[in-house]
Amino acid sequence: MGKEKKYLGHIESLRALAALMVLVFHFLSFEGVHGFLITNETIRTCSKFGAQGVELFYIISGFVIYYSLTNASFGIQNYPKYLLKRFARIFPPFLGTILLICLVALLWKGNYPYTAKQVLENATLSVDVFNDSEWMNPIFVTLKVEFLFYLIIGFLIIVLRRHVLIYSSVLVAALGSVFFFHSTDLVHNIPFFVAGICCSEIYKSRNQPVNYVLLGCSLLVLYVVFPAEDLVVCIIGIVLILWLKIRSRALEWTGAFSYSLYLTHGLSGGLFLYLTKNEKYLDLNSWLALVLAIGVALTFAYGYYRIIEKHAIRWSKHIKY
């Protein structure tokens, strides 16, 4: 596979930050039988910025996938193996989460709420194609966006590496499409992926002015079309990737299983909050319940990583191109 992949500790820390942002947002937004877990409106309003952890993941994906592909001797003949590699990395933990959701629904409620068709559409990330079903977990739609990006960038990388004019023209056209197809999930998130790609080029010491111009264009599109918080998180992501490279043992450790944490925190921590903020079972102090829920989510995710995700990573690494 050409050059050996370099470990990027600050990117692993950034993954952890993104996952924890989403986790805290979801837990602080939890609404039990007595209302919201945290009643302070200011805290809940501020916590909504945590939802931007998803966009931070998109920036990271643009950076990492482009960095990996341009570091390899990648050609169109490698495309099937590239997709298989991404599938092996992403789908086993994802499908395991669907199985867990089904088991919890079956054992907990007794009245199983999902049809075989809904489960199949979720498992193939095709819910929005048929538009007659619902996502079993709202975060699954973000995996659909990620995988669509993988499909497209695997083709585009062949063209993007040929000449700086082609590279800049394709990315400008991609950014321009946001103004016309803003409601399409993948197109809606193009500025974040483009920002990640440009950061990858700059990080590899390709400091051509075009990369800074394209970064500026990404931020301009976000400023014109998107809410302010999307622009802010993109700026933060760029700074943390290129200049303020935060590395922490705790964050790097969490980053290693951040995908498992992203997938399972709602199932583990969410179920914990339901049980501990419900007078039928146990009504803990809200802040204590929140801290314990975070601990439960981290513990469960680490176990899930060890049992499932770590094997998926190993299978993925065995696929060479």
| Residue range 96-114, pLDDT digits in tens | 999 999 998 888 766 778 8
Predicted local distance difference test score (pLDDT) of residue 280: 65
- pLDDT value at 4 more than 60: no
Q: What is the mean pLDDT of residues 217-245?
A: 94
Predicted local distance difference test score (pLDDT) of residue 165: 87
Predicted local distance difference test score (pLDDT) of residue 125: 94
Secondary structure in 3-state letters for the chain:
CCCCCCCCHHHHHHHHHHHHHHHHHHHHCCEECCEECCCCHHHHHHHHHHHHHHHHHHHHHHHHHHHHHHCCCCCHHHHHHHHHHHHHHHHHHHHHHHHHHHHHHHHHHCCCCCCHHHHHHHHCCCHHHHCCCCCCCCCHHHHHHHHHHHHHHHHHHHHHCCCHHHHHHHHHHHHHHCCCCCCCHHHHCHHHHHHHHHHHHHHCCCCCHHHHHHHHHHHHHHHHHCCHHHHHHHHHHHHHHHCCCCCCHHHHHHHHCHHHHHHHHHHHHHHHHHHHEECCCEECCHHHHHHHHHHHHHHHHHHHHHHHHHHHHHHHHHCCC
Predicted local distance difference test score (pLDDT) of residue 7: 72
Mean pLDDT score across all residues of the chain? 88
- pLDDT value at 277 more than 50: yes
Exposure of 245 by Cβ count < 10 A (0-12 exposed, 13-18 middle, 19+ buried)?
middle
- pLDDT value at 1 more than 50: no
- Higher confidence at residue 274 or residue 38? 274
- pLDDT value at 2 more than 50: no
Predicted local distance difference test score (pLDDT) of residue 207: 62
- pLDDT value at 60 more than 70: yes
Question: Domains of the chain: which residue ranges?
Answer: 9-318
- pLDDT value at 9 more than 90: no
Instruction: Tell me the torsion sign for CA atoms 60, 62, 65, 70.
Output: negative
- pLDDT value at 40 more than 90: no
Neighbour tally for 200: CB within 10 Å: 23
